[in-house]
């Protein structure tokens, strides 16, 4: 496998399988994600969405199949060398550190110089709409502000692929709708490649260039939001989208 190939998808999954006992959480999943694309994985609870992100991040071992990022097979590459950023639902900020200390986390890990850290932190806080918040205590921030800090932290090491697992899950509906619009703008500006998981189809359709609908560890359908909405592949997808009402 060659390194740093520039043609082909940024991310390629082939035959990806994860078993827990007799149950396949992922069952031969294949998926390509192009550079700069935002793909949202949608599906009911237990369909394998989080497992998919965890395998790509190297937090979960695959029983079969391949994860190829930038032409590099990640099988033996540890999490911190994969060039992926992962942001979970419960964003787990470090409560004893201020905003800047949280955002700079990944930069410190890579040994970035102090001035470089400060410049990057200021730039990211501007981007996520929290200019000048460096010295604030994370405990004094609202839920939406904490989510923005978590996003800035995930973006700080400039990951090739940013993965979000139910990133807005704990916020109220109005705030979620506002943040989705901001995220879409932000990812467009940065040219970030994004793989996001949600069980909320409104969120997925607003954020995604392409959606992937999962069912029982398999991909039931992929397409643009409009394609999936207008032509659900089967009854499961149609029901999941709420067409049985
Ligand atoms: P989702 O994120 O779509 O809700 P998950 O990826 O968390 O789904 O889980 C997919 C399936 O794998 C579920 O049936 C879940 O119970 C199972 N599963 C996930 N993680 C584990 C684990 N560590 N041990 C056993 N079963 C697991
Ligand atoms: Mg999940």
Q: DSSP class of residue 183?
A: H
Residue 39: band (very low, low, confident or very high) from pLDDT cuts 50, 70, 90: very high
The more confident residue out of 106 and 217 is 217
Whole-number pLDDT of residue 2: 46
Binding site membership of 49 for ligand 1 (Cβ less than 6 Å): yes
Q: Ligand 1 centre from 175 Cα, in Å? A: 28
- pLDDT of 4 strictly over 70: no
Whole-number pLDDT of residue 217: 98
Whole-number pLDDT of residue 179: 84
Nearest ligand 1 atom, CA 26: 10
Instruction: Please list the residues that pair with 24 across neighbouring strands.
Output: 19
Q: Ligand 1 centre from 53 Cα, in Å? A: 12
Does residue 88 contact residue 165 with C-beta atoms inside 8 Å? yes
Q: What share of the chain in percent tops pLDDT 70?
A: 96
Q: What is the pLDDT of residues 150-178, one digit of tens each?
A: 999 999 988 999 999 988 877 788 888 88
Check if the interface score ipTM surpasses 0.95.
yes
Q: Ligand 2 centre from 91 Cα, in Å? A: 14
Per the prediction, the chain carries an average pLDDT of 91
Provide φ and ψ at 48, rounded to 5°. Answer: 110, 10
Q: Ligand 2 centre from 132 Cα, in Å? A: 33
**Distant-in-sequence, close-in-space partners of 7: CB < 8 Å, separation ≥ 6:** none
Please state, in angstroms and as integers, the Cα–Cα distance from residue 23 to each residue in 46, 61, 91, following that order. Answer: 11, 15, 28
Whole-number pLDDT of residue 1: 45
Mean pLDDT of 22-34: 97
Binding site membership of 44 for ligand 1 (Cβ less than 6 Å): no
């Amino acid at each position: 496998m060659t390194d740093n190939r520039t043609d082909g998808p940024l991310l390629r999954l082939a035959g990806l399988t994860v078993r827990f006992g007799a149950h396949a959480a992922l069952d031969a999943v294949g998926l390509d994600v192009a550079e700069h694309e935002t793909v949202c994985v949608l599906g009911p609870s237990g369909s394998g969405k989080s497992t998919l992100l965890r395998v790509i991040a190297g937090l979960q071992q695959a029983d079969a199949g391949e994860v190829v990022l930038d032409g590099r097979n990640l099988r033996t590459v540890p999490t911190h060398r994969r060039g992926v950023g992962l942001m979970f639902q419960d964003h787990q900020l470090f409560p004893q550190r201020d905003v800047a200390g949280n955002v700079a986390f990944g930069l410190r890990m890579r040994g970035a110089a102090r001035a470089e850290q400060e410049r990057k932190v200021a730039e990211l806080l501007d981007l996520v709409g929290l200019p000048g918040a460096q010295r604030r205590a994370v405990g004094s921030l609202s839920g939406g502000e904490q989510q923005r800090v978590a996003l800035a932290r995930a973006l700080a090491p400039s990951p090739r692929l940013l993965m979000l697992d139910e990133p807005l899950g704990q916020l109220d509906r109005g705030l979620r709708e506002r943040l989705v619009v901001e995220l879409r703008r932000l990812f467009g500006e940065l040219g970030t490649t994004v793989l996001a998981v949600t069980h909320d189809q409104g969120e997925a359709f607003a954020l995604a260039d392409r959606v992937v609908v999962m069912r029982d560890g398999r991909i039931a359908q992929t397409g643009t939001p409009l394609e999936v909405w207008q032509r659900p592949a089967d009854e499961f997808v149609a029901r999941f989208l709420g067409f049985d009402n």
